[in-house]
Amino acid sequence: RVWPYLERWFGWFNRSQSGSQEGTFRWRGRKGYHLLPCGLDDYPRSVCATAAEKHVDLYSWASLMGSTIHSIGEAIGEESKYEQYAASLRDKLDGQHWDPKRNQYSDRSGCEPNSRQITKEGKFLSHFGYMNLFPVLTGIAGEDKAVRVINRTWELMSGFGLRSLRGKDRKRIGQSDNYWTGPIWINLNYLMLRALRTKYSAVEGSAELYTQLRNDLIKNIASEYRRTQKLWENYHPTTGHGQGTAPFTGWTTLIILIMAEEYI
């Protein structure tokens, strides 16, 4: 009985969050520098909000959701077109969001970089952080691009986990809440470890990044727990100190799965 509602919801999702071009996606609900619907509230996006924006994280979620719904359909004996949909997005990912100049996946802006001059070309955003990792986090990137993203990911390593935004980009993004613009979030770090372990384990450099990142996360969260007797919402990118809400037994408890190397 759930299947028709799931199909209806997925149809609504695609209609309501589709971009200005077929096969692209744009989050709705932006207010100033906040884009709360994406979950990474103040993460830097284009300086101008236009219909020409293309969001790489939403594109990645759409493909992953297609594959997930297809798996549900198979499990309950329903014929499904959703794997074909997801595969189509995977095939077109690089054409929509790969920036060959910077060797990274990126959002595409509706205006010229660092200006409000509208453009139809969809310029790539230059900063580097969690958003650029999403095709790898969701497992839709091909290995040829994943190896480049994995190599670039070292730029986010802090000694305590992956920071949400590269250090030099934090200085030039303008207004923010210092929320998703540097702090270390365990949920996104978990997704990276999961991708390295289950999807890209054969990719050059993945084992080294996996080992270092896992060790850094375990060491810092354990150290902060001993110091404060709390788990924290996120962690400071230069000191590793817990910050935000505490005690926080939401996604920070993913550290237990990380320690056990269980990636769901």
Distance, CA of 220 to CA of 109 (rounded, Å):
36
Burial class (CB in 10 A: 0-12, 13-18, 19+), 162: buried
Model confidence pLDDT, tens digit, residues 68-122: 999 999 999 988 889 999 999 999 999 999 999 999 999 998 765 555 566 666 7
- The DSSP bridge pattern shows strands 234-235 and 104-105 to be unpaired
Query: Band of the pLDDT at 51, cuts 50, 70, 90?
Result: confident
Half-sphere exposure of 23 (CA within 13 A, CB side): 13
Q: What is the tens place of the pLDDT at every residue in 187-239?
A: 999 999 999 999 999 999 999 999 999 999 999 999 999 999 999 999 999 99
According to CATH, the topology of domain 3-184 is Glycosyltransferase (1.50.10)
Task: Give the pLDDT confidence score for residue 84 in this predicted structure.
Answer: 92
Catalytic annotation, pick one of 57, 99, 224, 233: 233
Cα–Cα dist 80/51, whole Å = 31
- Cβ atoms 10, 86 nearer than 8 A: no
Whether residue 233 lies in the annotated active site: yes
Grouping H, G, I as helix, E, B as strand and the rest as coil, residue 123 is coil
Q: State yes or no: pLDDT of 17 exceeds 80.
A: yes
The upper half-sphere exposure of residue 56, i.e. CA atoms within 13 Å in the direction of its Cβ, equals 34
For the stretch 152-194, pLDDT in tens is 999 999 999 999 999 888 877 666 788 999 999 999 999 999 9
pLDDT mean over 52-66: 95
Domain boundaries, given as residue ranges, for the chain = 3-184
pTM tops 0.85: yes
pLDDT, residue 115, reads 56
Nearest to 171 by CA among 237, 103, 97: 237
- CA-to-CA distance for 32 and 190, rounded, in angstroms? 29
Query: For this structure, is 107 an active site residue?
Result: no
Q: Catalytic pick from 7, 41, 94, 112?
A: 41
